[in-house]
Amino acid sequence: MKAAELAGVRQFRVVDQELPDPGPGEVQVQVAAVGICGSDLHNFTEGGVGDSPCKFPMVLGHEPSGIVLKTGAGVSGLLLGDYFALEPAIPCGRCELCHAGKENLCYDMRFLSSGGIPGFFCERVNLPAHNLIPVPKHVGLKEATLVEPIAVALHSLSFAHVKAGETAVVYGTGAIGLLTIACLKAAGIGRVWAVEPVAHRRDMAVAMGADVVLNTDQPVQEILKDTNNRGVDIAFDCAAGVNTVNDCINSLAKAGRLVYTAIPAEVHVPFYAPGLRKKEISFFNVFRSNHQTDQARDLLAEKVTLFAPILTHTRPLDQIHDAFDVAQRYVDGVGKMLVMPSE
């Protein structure tokens, strides 16, 4: 089969690889589509994610969908040709954190596309049968790639304890920021501000439900003006820009909640400590998702026409370098770029 390996910074190569038949409890899946995530872009442009260097050569990609090709011994109830979102996380199920219900923090996690474990930028994969999430046919295989990032957005909302009628700001409206806006609106949030320097992504934020969109020129002042100097209840940093976390702090009301979804390129990020302390801001970090996959699938199925416009571009596997180049430069009106390994 064909697989796209990241051989070095900004260096993809398409190679032939062997894939055995699925083992007991496993399913072999034809990978239909894979979304490019921000963490993929960090590996592509920087050779790693924060303090975790990429182990070259590496098959990235962890926002996949696919179709069942073969089933291993002991697998039943999966029909060949059915549509599935594919869960990349395989927690051990045995450690302290798995027993505590925090499988995303598993001490012995196998996460496909991380830590030297190949991901989904390839034609076929073998997965545990329980990692296949069935999606209705009206969702489609392209749209099914959104299950994983929607689950991340829902996980971020779980920290924020969103209440109906509250206010929020989302800094950065790449794909995860856009999905956060849509999930906030689905949760019954009141007014949402979106802050984004790229014009076409501000337009997409409006389509996802943002009530106010701002450029990055003095957004804090605009938000404080709009809220009578109170600030918002919740701030989401989905950008990890030079100043975005401190803009979040300064945009928040007293006793506000700050959710840090973005992945910064730098290992150390400076915080405006007086604002955190004097306003008693609660600060939450987000790492992947945890038990939100089925909820994400159901929300996508219910609101597929809302989410689908995020998917703006596709490329076949042999054009993966161009796909990453367009995605990381935010050009050509790109929202979410999909790689199509089976085309």
Integer Cα distance of 285 and 293 in angstroms:
19
How many domains does the chain fold into? Answer: 2
End position of a domain, from candidates 239, 258, 285: 285
Q: What is the CATH number of the domain that holds 183?
A: 3.40.50.720
Residues 162, 255, single domain; the answer is: yes
How confident is the model at residue 267, as a pLDDT?
84
Whether 114 is covered by a domain: the verdict is yes
Domain contains 200 = yes
The answer to whether position 163 is within a domain reads: yes
List per-block mean pLDDT (blocks of 10 residues) for the chain, which spans 343 residues.
98 98 98 98 96 96 98 93 96 98 98 95 98 96 98 98 97 98 96 98 98 95 98 98 95 99 90 95 97 98 96 99 98 98 92
**pTM for the complete prediction?**
0.96
At 123, which CATH number? Answer: 3.90.180.10
Question: Do 82 and 168 belong to one domain?
Answer: no
pLDDT of residue 343: 86
- Does residue 292 form part of some domain? no
The pLDDT value recorded for residue 79 is: 86
Residue 297 lies in a domain: no
CB count in 10 Å sphere of residue 287: 12
Is residue 293 domain-resident? no
Residue 234: the pLDDT is 99
Sign of the C-alpha dihedral computed for residues 38, 40, 46 and 48 taken in this order:
positive
Residue 269 belongs to some domain of the structure: yes
Q: Are residues 58 and 185 in the same domain?
A: no
Of 242, 258, 285, the residue at which a domain comes to its end is 285
Give CA 88 to chain center in angstroms.
Answer: 12
Q: Are residues 138 and 9 in the same domain?
A: yes
Residues 126 and 159 in one domain: no
- Tell me whether residue 333 is in a domain: yes
Same domain, 124 and 158: no
Does residue 132 sit in the same domain as residue 160? Answer: no
Long-range contacts (CB closer than 8 Å, 24 or more residues apart) made by 110-114: 111/62, 111/288, 112/62, 112/88, 113/40, 113/58, 113/59, 113/60, 113/61, 113/62, 113/88, 114/52, 114/62
Residues 41 and 72 in one domain: yes
73 with 160, same domain: the answer is: no
Which pLDDT score is estimated for 207? 96
Predicted local distance difference test score (pLDDT) of residue 266 = 86
Q: Are 51 and 121 in the same domain?
A: yes
Residues 279, 156 within the same domain: yes
Q: 140 and 158, same structural domain?
A: no
Domain of 273 in residue numbering reads as 150-285
